[in-house]
Amino acid sequence: MENGISPHRIKKLIGYRFRRKSLLETALTHPSCGEGIPHYERLEFLGDAILSAVLSEELYRRYPEKSEGDLTMYRTALTNGRFLAEMARELQLGPLIRLKAVVNPQQRDSLHENVFEALIGAIFLDSKYAKVKKVLLGWYEPFAERLERELKRTNPKGRIQELICALRPNSVLDYRLIAETGEDHEHIYSVALYCEKELLGIGSGSSKKVAEKNAAFHALEVIFQRAKLQL
């Protein structure tokens, strides 16, 4: 590779040895490197989908007692941009990235997140789903500890408030109780989150507080997906 990193060194960092080194090079190449040079954007699109599928399956398997709302909240916590950027730094991907653009500090998290997802897409194309799943879950270990730590760090209601203030100044968020089901000892609340008249997300939980948090997580996931599609 142009950056002088040997395949052996890369395998040691990420736990996978590429057969098609062109895929690895593409995953690590920023669009600024020049017109006609393959870069990571298409692999990032693929990797994002693979990451969501692998984590959805793993969360479903690990937490059979959890509701759809809880599983969505967990997946969002483990795929937010800051967390993925931290994962990329743990794998020491930063020095491997090829780019010619000047990246300011505010853009570095996004750059690391993009390369992390692109690397997942590259491994998938170089092998198969079972292999990329094994490698990816290896990166996430210790899985339960990472999830617990990230949930404690994440404040979805605060985060969605920040985003709405930035995107729609003077708009008001409204958490509305839309349903209550179940017996007294197994009561489930469902809450819808609106911004003015627009429905942003729906969440459920054993208390109104948990339902509101899950609705905020759902809204964040929707907003982040919209942002990816608009890039």
* Active-site residue set: 48, 117
- Residue 30 phi, psi (nearest 5): -80, 150
Q: Which residues pair with 203 in a beta bridge?
A: 191
Residues 6 or more apart whose Cβ sits within 8 Å of residue 29: 37, 38, 39, 40, 97, 98, 99
Sign of CA dihedral 18, 23, 25, 28: negative
Residues 6 or more apart whose Cβ sits within 8 Å of residue 178: 190, 191, 192, 202
- Residue 191 phi, psi (nearest 5): -125, 140
Which residue blocks in the chain are alpha helix, DSSP H? 7-14, 21-27, 41-62, 68-77, 81-90, 105-126, 129-140, 143-153, 156-167, 208-230
Residues 6 or more apart whose Cβ sits within 8 Å of residue 38: 22, 25, 26, 29
